[in-house]
Structure 1
């Protein structure tokens, strides 16, 4: 299956609520590779690589909030060239 790479900027209550760890768990469950990191403006940046169906599921679960304390208000999603990550990691 063809792989895609997405940059996702997540807005809302997404720092200090276990968001990155929850994202890591979802990514591992869906065989998504890439990174997740907090940005200084209060958003979270995710680089996610995987096949289209798994990326759609991943986005759906991120929108819902990967932890009970997270509140996602908006996602900015852009396609990127593949980076060929081997695993998903927290930065």
Structure 2
């Protein structure tokens, strides 16, 4: 199992729609660790670490929107060094 880590910036209607909580639920189901936080510019930053298969599934589900009210217009994904996070938290 190869562990990878990504920084994901979600654009669109991603604040005040339960996005962070929904993201945490998906991450927990897929054994993804890291964090999710709102940024001042209206985007949401996700740090996601896990195995490649689960990360692919995670990114796909985030793109669709983790809640019915969220509308993701764009995801920016970039590689980060792994950091061996223990949990997935909302910041």
TM-score, normalised to structure 1's length? 0.99
Q: Which runs of 4+ in 1 moved over 3 A?
A: none
Separation in 2, partners of 1:80, 1:54: 16
The count of residues paired between Structure 1 and Structure 2 equals 91
Quote the RMSD (CA, aligned, Å).
Answer: 0.3
* Equivalent in the alignment of 1:72: 72
Post-superposition offset of 1:83: 1.2
Q: Which runs of 5+ in 1 are unaligned?
A: none
Instruction: Give CA deviations for 1:31-88 in whole Å, capped at 9, x if unaligned.
Output: 0000000000000000000000000000000000000000000000000001110010
Q: Please list every run of 5 or more consecutive structure 2 residues that lacks an aligned counterpart in the other structure.
A: none
